């Protein structure tokens, strides 16, 4: 526990040692070698003096290309384990382009319409292509493979890109079989709400993930960093209403996927590679010509659901917007590891921050209290995080004791019941710290 945290042991460190991650294909460390006959520049055939020149030529709308390349290249590693993993594979065939990226953890696959004059396949620097595509004028883009280079022409702009060795590029994992679909906006909101509580400490790798629990027509997302816990429940459309699955996905990956899959109404979810009951090794998402997969994290996630109290005898309702702005102001004088103190009485909430000879601040706002007066204190940034992801006009605090975790939920109106689909459990910190 960080200095200043409650003595409550509900958030004590669980055993979170991460097991060895599996490769989605079952291979260990080495990339698969996938020869692409007829697409490799200068590929030698039986006659050593006969060389087949790869051919690829297509035309595509600038905006369509820029968006597809940007999406495909978004997950490329900044420092790839191998230079080849910095590439984006372009395959022109029929009347479409397929753009792919893969770093052995996350794969991305995008399909876009194009006018293909000559079918072919090539591998180029993904980030460079993304930067170039975004900078082009709003005109059709012509791309042609010429030996070991790719010529890109858009209006009067002309770029030449070096070709990367396609035969060294790993095979992408197969897209997992779909097990259901979910509204894209609902998924995006749910992931943004829960991921705020995921740990950013790589020494506790399991806590950097979001636990996905699938139970028939309901999905529950959970994340914790030991000082707070976020849980979001949502409905979806499973292919089998009796399905029960559990998956653990890195929060940053899930966030990126959820944000980038909002172009369509629905997102199809798939799981594959079952290794033990209730666990799978690969998760996939598909929407509007975009497909992405991610390996799952191994290990036993802490049993965090039990941390939510069954009842909260003391409850307070506050205008969410007013409270959020007040906490932001208090945080200006709350130094690192210090708290914002909240004192609830009937009709009023008094916020205080700062102490001693340092800067101090206080503010009073309206509040409705059910139960005894109560005073507590929270990490201001943790409180701000929770208030920002709520989508209701009011926020409800549920307390069992000043030193016990508080349950934060939304409430549409001051005199209505709480909205429990999203719950945020926040550990208080000691006064004077």
pLDDT digits (tens, 9 = 90+) for 268-288: 999 986 544 444 599 999 998
In a domain, 182, yes or no: yes
pLDDT at position 40 is: 35
End position of a domain, from candidates 168, 188, 216? 168
Domain count for the chain = 3
Q: Are residues 254 and 319 in the same domain?
A: no
Q: What percent of the chain has pLDDT over 90?
A: 76
In a domain, 29, yes or no: no
Q: Are residues 96 and 160 in the same domain?
A: yes
Q: Are residues 177 and 299 in the same domain?
A: yes
pLDDT at position 273 is: 64
Q: Are residues 224 and 131 in the same domain?
A: no
Provide the mean pLDDT of the chain.
86
Residue 1 has pLDDT above 90, yes or no: no
Q: What is the CATH number of the domain that holds 159?
A: 3.10.150.10
In a domain, 92, yes or no: yes
Read out DSSP for 193-227?
A: HHHTTS---TTSGGGGEEEEEEETTEEEEEEE-SS
Q: Are residues 52 and 160 in the same domain?
A: yes
pLDDT at position 29 is: 40
Residue 328 near residue 384 (C-beta atoms within 8 A) = yes
Beta partners for residue 420, in sequence order: none
105 SS3 class: coil
pLDDT tier at 336 (50, 70, 90 boundaries)? confident
147 SS3 class: coil
Highest mean pLDDT range out of 21-35, 258-272, 320-334, 346-360? 320-334
pLDDT digits (tens, 9 = 90+) for 119-177: 999 999 999 999 999 999 999 999 999 999 999 999 999 999 999 999 999 999 999 99
pLDDT tier at 79 (50, 70, 90 boundaries)? confident
Residue 36 has pLDDT above 60, yes or no: no
Q: Are residues 195 and 152 in the same domain?
A: no
CA-closest candidate to residue 214, choices 179, 244, 236? 244
Residue 308 has pLDDT above 50, yes or no: yes
Q: Are residues 179 and 281 in the same domain?
A: yes
pLDDT at position 45 is: 38
pLDDT at position 280 is: 54
pLDDT at position 357 is: 75
The runs of H, that is alpha helices, within 358-419 are 380-389
Q: Of residues 22 and 126, which shows the higher confidence score?
A: 126
Residue 32 near residue 245 (C-beta atoms within 8 A) = no
Q: Of residues 382 and 22, which shows the higher confidence score?
A: 382
End position of a domain, from candidates 249, 279, 305? 305
Pick the range with the lowest mean pLDDT from 231-245, 260-274, 286-300, 407-421. Answer: 260-274
Q: Are residues 248 and 321 in the same domain?
A: no
Q: What percent of the chain has pLDDT over 70?
A: 85
End position of a domain, from candidates 132, 153, 168? 168
CA-closest candidate to residue 275, choices 240, 247, 242, 304? 247
Residue 410 has pLDDT above 70, yes or no: yes
Domain extent, residue 407, equals 308-426
Distance between CA 126 and CA 83 in Å, rounded?
Answer: 11
């Amino acid at each position: 526990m960080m200095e200043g945290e409650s003595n409550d042991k509900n958030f004590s460190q669980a055993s979170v040692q991460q097991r060895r991650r599996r490769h989605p294909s079952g291979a260990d460390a080495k990339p698969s070698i996938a020869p692409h006959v007829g697409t490799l520049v200068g590929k030698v055939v039986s006659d050593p003096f006969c060389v087949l020149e790869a051919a690829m030529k297509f035309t595509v709308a600038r905006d369509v290309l820029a968006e597809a390349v940007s999406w495909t290249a978004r997950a490329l590693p900044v420092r790839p384990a191998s230079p080849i993993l910095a590439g984006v594979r372009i395959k022109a065939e029929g009347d479409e382009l397929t753009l792919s990226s893969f770093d052995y953890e996350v794969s991305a696959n995008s399909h876009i319409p194009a006018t293909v004059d000559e079918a072919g396949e090539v591998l180029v620097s993904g980030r460079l292509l993304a930067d170039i595509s975004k900078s082009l004028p709003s005109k059709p883009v012509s791309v042609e493979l010429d030996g070991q280079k790719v010529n890109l022409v858009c209006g009067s702009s002309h770029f030449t890109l070096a070709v990367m060795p396609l035969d060294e590029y790993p095979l992408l994992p197969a897209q997992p079989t779909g097990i259901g679909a979910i509204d894209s906006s609902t998924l995006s909101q749910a992931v943004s709400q829960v991921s705020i509580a995921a740990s950013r400490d790589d020494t506790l790798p399991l806590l950097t993930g979001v636990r996905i629990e699938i139970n028939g027509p309901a999905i529950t997302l959970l994340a914790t960093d030991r000082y707070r816990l976020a849980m979001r429940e949502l409905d979806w459309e499973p292919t089998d209403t009796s399905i029960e699955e559990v998956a653990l996905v890195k929060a940053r990956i899930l966030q990126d996927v959820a944000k980038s899959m909002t172009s369509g109404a629905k997102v199809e979810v798939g799981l594959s590679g079952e290794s033990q009951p209730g666990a799978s090794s690969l998760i996939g998402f598909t929407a509007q010509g975009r497909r992405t997969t991610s390996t799952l994290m191994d290990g036993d996630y802490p049993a965090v659901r039990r941390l939510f109290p069954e009842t909260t005898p003391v409850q307070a309702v506050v205008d969410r917007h007013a409270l959020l702005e007040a906490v932001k102001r208090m945080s200006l004088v709350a130094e690192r590891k210090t708290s914002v103190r909240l004192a609830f009485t009937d009709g009023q909430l008094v916020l205080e921050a700062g102490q001693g000879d340092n800067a101090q601040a206080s503010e009073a706002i309206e509040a409705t209290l059910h139960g005894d007066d109560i005073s507590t204190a929270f990490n201001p940034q943790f409180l701000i995080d929770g208030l920002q992801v709520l989508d209701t006009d009011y926020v409800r605090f549920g307390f069992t004791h000043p030193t016990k975790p508080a349950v934060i939920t939304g409430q549409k109106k001051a005199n209505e019941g709480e909205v429990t689909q999203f719950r945020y459990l926040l550990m208080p910190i000691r006064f004077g710290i």
